[in-house]
Amino acid sequence: MVTEKYTRILGIGAYGPSRVVTNEQLSQTVDTSDEWIRSRTGILERRFGSDEQSTSDLALEAAQKALAHAGVLPDEIDLVLVATITPDMAFPSTACVLQHKLGLRKVACFDLEAACSGFLYALDVADSMLASGRYKKALVVGAEKMSSIMDWEDRTTCVLFGDGAGAAVLSKEGEGPALVGFYCGADGSNPSLLCQPAGGSALPASSETLSSRKHFLKMNGREIFKSAVRVMESSCRTLLEEHNLELSDVSLIIPHQANMRIVESLSQRLEVPMNKFYCNLERYGNTSAASIPLALNEAVQKKALSDGDLCLLVAFGAGLTWSSTIVRF
């Protein structure tokens, strides 16, 4: 019989930039209103990094907190994964930049791009790499400077997103919440539903791509909304079924923080009351790959989870991608 040794979260940390922008402030430069944003999304304010801060700087703040929380020295880290769609630059990876800023040893570093599902994908990948025995302590980060790809002339997207970062130190050795189940999926049949069209090999940067604003995030909000609700429901059910668990076994669900109406629809479809969902999107907006670790960190700080509790993390994003993770506290 194979006895599974679970990967543990030794420590967690998060960072929200200090510059807070309220809906009211946004409505002074964008054709929108606090009432529209509040009622359609639940977002009240978001945080934006400064001009001097890149994604790796946000990641650095979160990573330092996670290392301190774990009581792990930078020298002990032998694997760095950064989930992001807003890397410092196309290459080299933000994980490599972070390695240097943190003063880590010359250990394996790479970025993982699964949009809003990125942090949960990265937990799955790190778990497998730790299971190989060739890595002992992984630093997994979800970090985004969404403000760097937002089109301030597109009110349908620019009011939704925010900047931030969250990080976790993982190991098979030591104490902490256990990662007991993973599920990842994707459907690449319609990438234009949510994308940044220009700047890659399909549409390299040119004066035409700049003037047509194709370097900014584009989204078909209504279609993404419908898919998000449907796919997050099935993702939760699939993972729990694989582990012979019921929704009633779960103490807290931490969903991707995009829109409170998505969370409410998920709550109805799963028949799980809203007080079992942890949300902080009202203060951060949608921070893509940072959203789940920002919320998980906050739930841990607020002691919303006790020993033995099962927590279900569920994400959905561009790709389309989706992922869910079960954490036993």
Report the residue number, 151 or 309, with the smaller CB distance to ligand UT7.
Answer: 151
CB of 203 to ligand UT7, least distance (A): 21
CB of 7 to ligand UT7, least distance (A): 26
Report the residue number, 74 or 185, with the smaller CB distance to ligand UT7.
Answer: 185
Tell me the residue number closest to ligand UT7, measured at CB: 221
Q: Which residues bind ligand UT7 (CB under 6 A)?
A: 32, 36, 40-41, 116, 155-156, 159-160, 221-222, 224-225, 228, 258-259, 262, 286, 317
Which residues are the active-site residues? 116, 256, 286
CB of 146 to ligand UT7, least distance (A): 9
Report the residue number, 25 or 128, with the smaller CB distance to ligand UT7.
Answer: 25
- HEC profile of the chain: CCCCCCEEEEEEEEECCCEEEEHHHHCCCCCCCHHHHHHHHCCCEEEECCCCCCHHHHHHHHHHHHHHHHCCCHHHCCEEEEECCCCCCCCCCHHHHHHHHHCCCCCEEEEECCHHHHHHHHHHHHHHHHHCCCCCEEEEEEEEEHHHHCCCCCHHHHCCECEEEEEEEEECCCCCCEEEEEEEEECCCCHHHEECCCCCCCCCCCHHHHHCCCCCCEECHHHHHHHHHHHHHHHHHHHHHHCCCCHHHCCEEEECCCCHHHHHHHHHHHCCCHHHECCCHHHHCECHHHHHHHHHHHHHHCCCCCCCCEEEEEEEECCCEEEEEEEEC
Report the residue number, 155 or 328, with the smaller CB distance to ligand UT7.
Answer: 155
